[in-house]
Amino acid sequence: MKYTTFNQESNDTMKEPMFFGSPVNVARYDQQKHPIFEKLIEKQISFFWRPEEVDVSKDRMDFQKLSDAERHIFTSNLKYQTLLDSVQGRSPNIAFLPIISIPELETWVETWSFFETIHSRSYTHILRNLFTDPSEIFDDIVVNEEIAKRATDISKYYDDLIFATQLWQTKGEGEHVVDGETHLITMRELKKKLYLCMNSVNALEAIRFYVSFACTFAFAERELMEGNSKIIRLIARDENIHLTSTQHVLNLWAKGKDDPEMAEIAAECHEEAKAIFLKAVQQEKEWAHYLFKNGSMLGLNEEILCQYVEYIANHRMAAIGMGQPFEIKSNPLPWMNNYLNSDNVQVAPQETEISSYLVGQIDSEVASDDFEAFEL
Amino acid sequence: MRVDGLHSVFSESDDKSLLEHLESNNIEVHYHCREGYCGACRTKLNEGNVDYHIDPLAFIDDDEILPCCCKPTSDIDITLY
């Protein structure tokens, strides 16, 4: 079915599934099939921040004091996070928007992606401050083998869904030959690709950032690289809300509260989806191994970091009905919670002299006695 | 209040959220945002009722609660994950 940017047929979005229904026409939010997405949009927008608000200048001095092993840990993590947000800044838009059929979810995806672009810009902000020429760091993201391994797994489910959607939207259902390769396009296949893609994104938001977060906050515990840590705290706060959204989508499907066919697919592909999550866990552990190959850092080592990945994976897999596959029961890095708590993240705008905070601060209540002192 | 089968007392006049109460009783609960949007503190409610002072945005199942943004309104029985 050809995509249209404004579906001219009247449709009742209250009856549409989240994906693969009629394309959205009017961006209206007065009625919502799944009001949770509108609530997430409001919450996410209330979190708006700019990288430039955070002063990272002291980090440059701290960075000079780090050992070579620690510098490797720090820059490798920034590279990996840059990759993750490069993908997340564009892919939800390209993969999901053409097939979404309710306006509140469409706007949520746009809002979500926009915040990922803020994250990407913040990495440049951090790196520009640390290196006179950050090109070398950025260039290595495409060449570095350890990062490439992860990039393949992160992008492949998106790419599969995007390609299948393009074939479906241009040629419809059926067998299509492209560059000598035959592709079977059916609605069922498209929905399966969507389901697997959503699981891969969910795993990304759930655990792929956390090895890196742990290292950043371990530096901050030693009062090092604190500007960077402030930025990462803001990023972590956003990622938590993104994760909430993918958990909602997966659970709406699995519990039959949206498209009934997606509930069937969720049951059918349960093991495959679980394997996607477990592979991400494995890759994060391998990443921890790569980070500490030249030596560990104070307060963290490979073993404890792997335990933390398992601990967080348990919680996040349970949230989408995948059980808790790992033994670990208590948090091996309890201090992490202090950095992920939004009370410790909030910047009070009125205290940092941001004039835009005052927009709309007008007293609209005017009583007739307010004019008593006036004379004509 | 019963947590993982053990008793604990929650006084009605208490201003604390269920999460803060559990913490002040030295019961370890996983948390991140403490504002209802991340779901890290998701807990199973076996019996009883709670009232939310912040609208929970994180996904919770019908038999689950977010201790960071609610208070019990009756005797409750919960299981921590």
Give dist(CA A315, CA B7) in Å, integer: 25
Average pLDDT over residues A199-206: 97
Q: In this predicted structure, what is the pLDDT of residue A88?
A: 95
pLDDT tens across A340-374, in order?
A: 987 766 555 444 444 445 455 556 777 888 888 88
**Binary contact (B37, A340; C-beta < 8 A):** no
Does residue A299 contact residue A221 with C-beta atoms inside 8 Å? yes
Q: What pTM, to 2 d.p., does this model score?
A: 0.92
pLDDT at A362: 59
**Residue pairs between chains A and B whose CB atoms are closer than 8 Å:** 62
Q: pLDDT tens, A273-330? A: 999 999 999 999 999 999 999 988 888 999 999 999 999 999 999 999 999 999 999 9
Using the beta-carbon criterion (under 8 Å), do B32 and A43 form an inter-chain contact?
no
B1-48, pLDDT tens digit by residue? 888 888 877 766 678 899 999 998 889 899 999 999 999 999 999 999
Yes or no, beta carbons of B33 and A319 under 8 Å apart: no
Q: Do B35 and A342 touch (CB under 8 A)?
A: yes
Query: Chain B contacts of A240, Cβ < 8 Å?
Result: 32-33, 37-38, 40
Q: Please name the residue of chain A whose CA is at the shortest distance from the CA of residue B35.
A: A342
- Per-residue pLDDT at A205 exceeds 90: yes
Q: Is the pLDDT of residue A146 over 60?
A: yes
Which residues of B are less than 8 Å from A217 in CB distance? none
The ipTM is 0.92
The token pair at A361 is: 């601060």
Task: Calculate mean pLDDT across residues A66-92.
Answer: 95
- pLDDT tens per residue, range A9-35: 898 999 999 999 999 999 999 999 999
- What's the confidence (pLDDT) of residue A350? 47
Q: Cα(A17)–Cα(A187) distance, rounded to whole angstroms? A: 14
Interface test with A, best of B37, B41, B64, B81 (most A CBs within 10 A): B37
From the CA of B38, how many Å to the nearest CA of chain A? 5
Q: Which residues of A are catalytic?
A: 123
Write out the two tokens for A81: 């996070």
Query: Chain B: nearest CA to A341, how far in angstroms?
Result: 4
**Residue A79 in this model has a pLDDT that exceeds 80:** yes
Contacts 24+ apart (CB under 8 A), A153-156: A153/A200, A153/A279, A153/A280, A153/A283, A154/A83, A154/A84, A154/A87, A154/A200, A154/A204, A154/A208, A155/A87, A155/A91, A156/A200
Task: Mutate one of A205, A213, A315 to test the B interface: name it (highest B CB count within 10 A).
Answer: A315
Phi, psi of A138, rounded to the nearest 5 degrees: -65, -40
Average pLDDT over residues A77-91: 95
In b/e form, how buried is each residue of A132-164, taking b as 16+ CB within 10 angstroms?
A: eebeebbeebeebebbeebbebbbebbebbbeb
DSSP per-residue letters across A94-122:
IIIGGGB-SHHHHHHHHHHHHHHHHHHHH
pLDDT, residue A342, reads 79
**A318 with B33: Cβ contact below 8 A:** no
Average pLDDT over residues A261-276: 98
DSSP result, A214-283: HHHHHHHHTT-SHHHHHHHHHHHHHHHHHHHHHHHHHHHHHTTSS-HHHHHHHHHTHHHHHHHHHHHHHH
A318/B34 CB distance under 8 A: no
A328 touches chain B (CB under 8 A): no
Put simply, the answer to whether A244 touches B37 (Cβ < 8 Å) is: yes
Alpha carbon of B33: minimum distance to chain A alpha carbons (Å): 4
Q: Please tell me the distance in Å from B55's CA to the nearest CA on chain A.
A: 9
Residue A138 CA: distances (Å) to CA of A28, A79, A83, A216, A292: 40, 7, 9, 19, 21
